[in-house]
Chain A
């Protein structure tokens, strides 16, 4: 409420309307209910959902992700063994149903199936953490840069450019070697430091164009402040591309994590990660199952993530009213 002693709001500081609609209400001109037409309220999101579920590859990708990530999430329930359990009587056993060693066992007799499932869990945690945190960071930086423009924009975008020009893998390796301690969270934060740039650029670009929209000016004219304009009025319009980017970032983060772990700079044993499992499998060239299964899972995850990302991109594109054939 406006303060009552504020001279600008002497008489109308109450919330109640100062007029009473006794003069009548304008005659409704298109009474659709009366015309026998039933209006179904459909939000943008329900249209998007509809379009997404007609995209076959995306749905397949989504099902794939649900299965793979479901396995990771419920790892303690699904994995027949603990990832650290050693069984020296069954070293390097090929895949078999005996003792539930579906993916065989590795050089110290650990169950590869269990390690892959726990590896999915680790990779999933890293992927989602990196995607969410880097999106939030990139979103705020991009929004501020695009909304305020001027020197703030210049400063933030030059920093973004700087991060983008760094040779990512080399720096990541150096960083991991310096501060990495084999913990997945340290690795995640290092990845976030590189991943926010993409989102920041996308968001900045959208804010630059959206801030000129008339509805933003209308909101401004109705008294909305900068924060409200940025996050209530402009941000919802950028959610489509942001969601797509975030989805794809999960895949990229998992790939990068795998690459780093493969090179030995990522997550240290005994915590299993998919890349680290592949690297481990390299030591046993004849035991194909140690490389193929974790490698296959990485490929599947990234493929599914990309399918889902594509589906989301099509579904959330507001230009596309028509449902694809």
Chain B
């Protein structure tokens, strides 16, 4: 086993609200290895974004609060870095690509200027000419046509896909070793999504940056990722390689997620949603947080929260008391994923 680049242990993040304390992330642990793409999937509010934002100290505090845990990155605990040290990590060692490219670029600065700014933040002594050359090179790498002209244009002159390419260029501008893409294609047209994902994948292969890809789209996970974490209500409920999880999902929630997707080849009248709604993160149901919506649920699930335990080797883990019962149960996508 190689040394993990990032090792998160028991991360807990709370938000204080009028109605009580929201446990957005509740004891999340995972490792990220150099060069791999890790997908984090889950519904809205499952804690997938918060768990990564916490790494860079980007959670608004207050109301947010990192209650506990460690995040070892290259021998340092990111959660305990001083503000100034963390700033050196941001954008240099760990870069982030945000969801909405329409609002993530500053409307009054040129695209080139903003990319240059991202470089100059970490290399203030670099000559303007060299920075400009580098930015144009970056724009070319992410497939922005006419980068010399585009350099001096403003974000409103860029289309959505081009803006997200520019954001990816900004993300890789300082050759980070960890790239966090928070739903990078959610705000884009389906046709543009594929192009942007392709750019992201190629950039990832070239920079060899370990990548965390946050999404709620299982299709993207199957396409892009090496490993995947499934999150529900602030917990990791299943983790494993993409092949293992698509071939034999071992958590009812993962199966529910897969079954709620349309299948291109099938003749489906209705999609099959997961019944019920995600639980309130202020008052999680006792026991397994998923039990009110689970087709396997029985009495034990209401009392005991199942730990994340290995189900198939050490790589595939599931947090379900009855994960054995799911052996052999095919998800809608099992055959496709294997084939």
The one of B58, B74, B145, B175 in contact with A28, judged by C-beta atoms closer than 8 angstroms, is: B145
Is A286 an interface residue when CB atoms closer than 8 A count as contact? no
The answer, among A23, A29, A222, A236, for a CB contact under 8 Å with B91, is A222
Instruction: Determine the chain A residues whose CB is within 8 A of the CB of B137 once the complex forms.
Output: 17, 21
Please tell me if the beta carbons of A7 and B145 are within 8 angstroms of each other in the complex.
no
Q: Which residues of A contact B107 (CB under 8 A)?
A: 44, 215, 237, 318
Contact among B117, B161, B208 with A29 in the assembled complex (CB-CB below 8 Å) = B161
Instruction: Provide the bound-state CA to CA distance between A155 and B275, in Å.
Output: 51
Give Cα A33–Cα B147 distance, bound, in whole angstroms.
12
Cβ of A19 within 8 Å of any chain B Cβ, yes or no, is: yes
A218, CB-defined interface residue at 8 Å: yes
* B121 and A27 form a contact (CB under 8 A): no
A1, B98: Cβ atoms under 8 Å?
A: no
Residues B175 and A33 in contact, CB atoms below 8 Å apart: no
**B211 contacts A by Cβ under 8 Å:** no
B74 close to A8 (CB less than 8 A): yes
Interface residues of A, count at CB 8 A: 47
Taken residue by residue from 12 to 27, chain A's Cβ proximity to chain B (1 for < 8 Å, 0 otherwise) reads as: 1001011111010111
Is the pair B195, A221 in contact by a Cβ cutoff of 8 Å?
no
In angstroms, Cα B96 to Cα A223, docked, is 10
On whether the beta carbons of B76 and A223 are closer than 8 Å, the reply is no
Query: How many interface contacts (CB-CB < 8 Å) are there between A and B?
Result: 152
Contact yes or no, B143 A15, CB < 8 A? no
Complex-state Cα separation, A17 to B169, whole angstroms: 12
Q: Mark B148-183, 1 if CB is under 8 A from A, else 0.
A: 010011100101011000010010010101000000
A214 touches B (CB below 8 Å): yes
Q: Which residues of B contact A8 (CB under 8 A)?
A: 74, 76, 88-89, 93
Contacts of B216 in A (CB 8 A): none
A residues less than 8 Å from B177 (CB atoms): 12
Q: Given A17-B137, A214-B104, A219-B117, are A29 and B109 also a contact pair (CB < 8 Å)? A: no
Cβ-defined partner of A26 (8 Å) among B98, B110, B143: B143
Task: Tell me, rounded to whole Å, the shortest Cβ–Cβ distance linking A148 to chain B.
Answer: 13
B280 located at the interface, meaning its Cβ lies under 8 Å from any Cβ of chain A in the complex? no
Are B122 and A2 in contact (CB-based, < 8 A)?
Answer: yes
13 A-B contact pairs sorted by A residue (CB < 8 Å):
A2-B92, A18-B207, A21-B137, A25-B141, A27-B143, A28-B143, A30-B162, A44-B107, A217-B98, A221-B58, A222-B170, A223-B88, A224-B117
State the 4 A-B residue pairs at the shortest beta-carbon distance, nearest first.
Answer: A26-B143, A222-B91, A28-B145, A223-B91
Please give the residue numbers on chain A whose beta carbons come within 8 Å of chain B beta carbons, in ascending order.
1-2, 7-9, 12, 15, 17-21, 23, 25-33, 39, 41-44, 213-225, 228, 232-233, 236-237, 239, 318
New A-B contacts (18) at CB < 8 Å, excluding given A43-B110, A214-B98: A1-B123, A1-B125, A2-B122, A8-B88, A17-B137, A19-B207, A23-B205, A28-B144, A30-B159, A39-B149, A215-B105, A216-B106, A217-B58, A217-B104, A222-B121, A223-B92, A224-B91, A228-B117
